[in-house]
Amino acid sequence: MSQIVLQLFVIALSSVLFLFLLQVNGWLFNQFEWIAGVNWVYLPAGARLLCVLLFRTPGAIGIGLGSWLAGSYYTVHPDPIYTAIVSFLSAFSPYLVYLSLNNRHNLSASLSNLTPKLLVQCCFLFAMASACLHHVWFAFYGHADASWQSLLVMATGDFIGAILLLYFVKILLAVLRKSALKPKRN
């Protein structure tokens, strides 16, 4: 498979995963929504961080695209500039954290060197960066709900969503690696 086709596939996969987890989050955690777009548990935040950690730049592009699709079609917001900037921030915040941590820890795309401590640190930094960047934009735009309470709820929801998804994937990858290493019995 050519490199371009592979990258387009990763972009599409990242978008679909984000949109799928957005739907799942609505089904499972709708009662934990603080205000529109701010949740106490937000699984798509986990997709944002996971796709960037696994796929780097194509993952971030896919997350930006998925976020733009969600903002354009699922959320009623009349301003396309608002939606585009929120989508950019959704992709940029995990990428910023990835770049920061990769310089210090040389993160592998398999997540194998992501220790429990580093995973929690990564999720925390991502949740804070994402919530702060979004709320700076909300305040600049004049969004009525850009309060400290909203920022803390968004940071908490992003952290919980990222921890849940990343630990699930890390455990799944470990189990798959372990089963692949077991000798086959005939």
pLDDT tens profile 52-88: 999 999 999 999 999 999 988 876 677 889 899 999 9
For 95-120, how does the pLDDT look when each residue is reduced to its tens digit (9 = 90+)? 999 999 999 998 888 777 888 999 99
Residue 30: helix, strand or coil by DSSP?
A: helix
Asked if pLDDT for residue 145 goes beyond 90, the answer is: no
Terminal CA-to-CA distance of the chain, rounded, Å?
A: 33
Q: What is the pLDDT of residue 183?
A: 72
Domains of the chain: 3-170 (1.10.1760)
CA 111/CA 102 separation, integer angstroms: 12
pLDDT digits (tens, 9 = 90+) for 35-49: 767 789 999 999 999
3-state SS assignment for residue 34: strand
Q: CB–CB of 133/93 below 8 Å?
A: yes
Token digits for 180? 């692949």
In the structure, what pLDDT confidence band is assigned to residue 1 with cuts at 50, 70 and 90? low
Count of C-beta atoms within a 10 Å radius of residue 186 = 3
Q: Do 112 and 89 contact (CB within 8 A), yes or no? A: no
Residue 156 pLDDT > 90, yes or no?
yes
Give me the residue label for tokens 């950690």.
53
pTM: 0.90
Helix axes 3-29, 43-55, angle to 10 degrees: 160
Instruction: Say what the pLDDT of residue 3 is.
Output: 93
Amino acid symbol at 130 = S
Q: Please state, in angstroms and rounded to a whole number, the distance separating the CA atoms of residues 22 and 157.
A: 13
